Structure 1
Amino acid sequence: MEQTGVPSASFSTITAPIFDGDNYQAWAVKMQAFMEGADLWEAVEEDYEVADLPNNPTINQIRYHKEKVTRKAKAKSCLFSAVSSTIFTRIMKKDSAHDIWNYIKEEYEGDERVKGMKVLNLLREFERQQMKENESVKEFVDRLVDIANKIRVLGTDVDDKKLVQKVLVAVLERVEATIASLENTKDISDIKLAEVLSAL
């Protein structure tokens, strides 16, 4: 049997990200990449119609027809398996992967005003973060990066300079001497997040 492209067996070990109703934007980016990698995104994006086979079709026409039908079915199945059972009950009657994708997008993405409010809330949360007494610098930075990534997914950039400044301002007294030596050796605007982490 002839094989083309990447063998499906190697891709099937990667599982689709599961959407449970939270953080739609991050899930949508991951899911689109997953479906592109599985060669299923076309069925979601284009929602193409599969024409009926002509009378006395050739082997190539039969193969092409079967491939198009199968791709649509796999895309739908993939989306069904990538959502929680609660969301599945809302989409199970949808006819195509395209319809499912659009329904989830309309239901969970929110309009620009809602996205703007989410960004503002996340920015406030970012600014309020303080390092806890029992927390390592890495744990604190991981918390900040997690919030920054949520903001980025919503389309607002949080550059590494802002993260570095937040870390340098918010870390506790126990690391102030290290910060002072770091600030003395480099211009503050040139310090990378990785350098702060390794120094601390």
Structure 2
Amino acid sequence: MAYSNAPSTRVPIFTRTHYHVWVVNMKVYLRSLGLWNVVEIDEDPSALRANLTFAQLKAYNEDLLKKDRALTCIHSRLADHIFTNIMDLETPKSVWDKLKEIHEGGDRVKKTKLLTLKREFSMLQMKEDELIKDFSNKLMDVANQIRLYGENLPDAKVIEKKSL
């Protein structure tokens, strides 16, 4: 059996639902390929000096290639209707930031979504004919969404809600 450095799992195609889950999967995927740093940091190639050594030029070209690979990875995991919104952007960071802006919204939108999720969490109650498994899944889904928005929701609070 031959060993391969290539990741064996693929990130699902983002189709406008479950953005936060897609982001986590995509970050891990890009990290596994050694490409996440070019998404996080968008260095200006025009800052390149005129008298480069061969090693500096080689490193510069490798960085450009990494950006192209990261951009290809991101593009390949977007549905066509989402791709058309970002296809004019040329760096992985600009694509990442645009997707974040479109699907997360600004601070006010995030706060509103978080408040809605907190209210949903507090109002969530098990129905008479509902299976424990189904209620638990709903509860964990809302709790995880709250956590994805950066809110600290202790496990004890979720367990307490399950036992009510």
TM-score (norm 2): 0.81
Q: Is the 8 A contact 1:44 1:98 kept in 2?
A: yes
Q: Which amino acid aligns with 1:19?
A: F
1:71 to 63, 66, 71: 66
Q: Is the 8 A contact 2:7 2:32 kept in 1?
A: no
1:81 to 66, 76, 85: 76
Q: Distance in 1 between the 2:9 and 2:58 partners?
A: 26
Q: CA deviation at 1:53?
A: 9.9
1:122 to 117, 123, 144: 117
Structure with max Cα Rg: 1
Q: Does 1:167 align with 2:162?
A: yes
Q: Distance in 2 between the 1:83 and 1:53 partners?
A: 38
Q: CA deviation at 1:66?
A: 4.4
Q: Is the 8 A contact 2:42 2:91 kept in 1?
A: yes
CA-to-partner distance for each residue in 1:26-63, whole Å, 9 max, x for gaps? 433332222122111122122232859979x75x5675
What stretches of structure 1 of length at least 5 have no aligned partner? 1-6, 170-200
What stretches of structure 2 of length at least 5 have no aligned partner? none
2:6 corresponding residue in structure 1: 11
Query: Between Structure 1 and Structure 2, how many residues are aligned?
Result: 160
Runs of 4+ displaced beyond 4 Å: 50-55, 60-63
RMSD value over aligned CA atoms? 2.7
Q: Distance in 2 between the 1:38 and 1:53 partners?
A: 31
For the residue of structure 2 that corresponds to 1:104, the secondary structure is helix
State the identity as a percent.
34
TM-score (norm 1): 0.68
